[in-house]
Chain A
Amino acid sequence: MSSIRIGPAAVLAGALVAGSAYADLPHDEIGQAKLPFPPEPHRAYIVDMEFDTMVATRVSVVDADSLRMLGMISTGGAAPATLSHDGRTVFTADLFYSRYTRGTRTDVLTAWDTSTLEPAWEVEIPPKRASTIVQRYGLTVSDDDRFVYVFNLTPATSVTVVDVQARKVAGEVALPGCILNYPAGKRRFASMCGDGSLLLVTLDDAGQEVARDKVKLFDPDHKPLIERGIANAGTYHFVTLDGVVQGVDLGGDKPRVLEPWSLLTDAERKAGWAPGGWQLLAIAPKLGRLYVLMHPEHQPHMWEDPSTQVWIYDLATHQKLGTLESPNPIWTLHATGDDKPLLLGGNIEGGLEVFDLTTGKHLGTKPKAAKTAVQILSH
Chain B
Amino acid sequence: MKLLDRLFERSTRRVAETTSRRAALARIGSWIVAGSALPLLLPIDRVAGRALAAETGKPGDPGDPNSCDYWRYCSVDGFLCTCCGGTVTSCPPGVEVSQVTWIGTCRNPADGKDYIISYNDCCGKQSCGQCACTRNDSEQPMYRPFNNNDINWCMGAKSQVYNCTLAVIRGVAN
Contacts and interface: CB of A to CB of B under 8 A. Distances in A.
Interface of A: 49, 51-55, 77-78, 95, 97, 101-102, 105, 130-133, 135, 153-155, 157, 177-180, 192-194, 220, 224-227, 278, 299, 301-302, 304-308, 328-329, 331, 348-349, 372
A52 B127 contact: yes
A308 B15 CA distance: 14
Contacts of A153: 145, 151, 155
B162 A54 contact: yes
Contact of A51 (B13, B18, B41, B151): B13
B61 interface: no
20 contacts: A49-B12, A54-B127, A54-B161, A102-B124, A102-B161, A131-B152, A131-B160, A132-B151, A132-B152, A133-B12, A155-B146, A192-B143, A226-B141, A227-B141, A301-B136, A302-B18, A304-B139, A305-B18, A308-B26, A348-B19
Contacts of B146: 155
B50 interface: no
Contacts of A372: 12, 15
Contact of B129 (A52, A135, A301): A52
Nearest to B94: A102
B160 A77 contact: yes
B71 to A, nearest CB: 16
Given A97-B161, A155-B145, A329-B26, A55 B19 contact: no
A14 to B, nearest CB: 52
Given A194-B143, A306-B15, 12 more contacts: A51-B15, A78-B152, A101-B126, A101-B159, A102-B159, A131-B160, A132-B152, A154-B155, A278-B14, A306-B18, A306-B22, A331-B19
A179 B150 CA distance: 13
Nearest to A307: B22
A6 B127 CA distance: 62
B137 interface: yes
B49 to A, nearest CB: 19
Contacts of B136: 301, 304
B172 to A, nearest CB: 24
B113 interface: no
Given A194-B143, A308-B26, A133 B41 contact: no
Contacts of A154: 155
A97 B159 contact: yes
Interface of B: 11-15, 18-19, 22-23, 26, 41, 100, 124-127, 129, 135-137, 139-146, 150-152, 154-155, 158-162
A220 B26 contact: no
Given A101-B159, A131-B155, A348 B150 contact: no
Contacts of B159: 97, 101-102, 105
B139 A301 contact: yes
Contacts of A55: 126, 161
Contacts of B137: 301
A151 to B, nearest CB: 10
Contacts of A304: 14, 18, 136, 139, 150
Contact of B143 (A53, A133, A178, A278): A178
Nearest to B19: A348
Which 7 A-B pairs give the minimum distances between C-beta atoms?
Answer: A51-B12, A348-B19, A131-B152, A329-B22, A53-B126, A101-B161, A305-B18
B119 to A, nearest CB: 14
A106 to B, nearest CB: 12
A136 to B, nearest CB: 12
Which of A101, A226, A306 has most chain B Cβ within 10 Å?
Answer: A101
A77 B152 CA distance: 11
B154 to A, nearest CB: 7
A179 B143 contact: yes
A348 B145 contact: no
Given A302-B18, A304-B14, A328-B26, A102 B158 contact: yes
A133 B18 CA distance: 15
A157 B150 CA distance: 15
A77 B161 contact: yes
Given A52-B127, A132-B152, A179 B26 contact: no
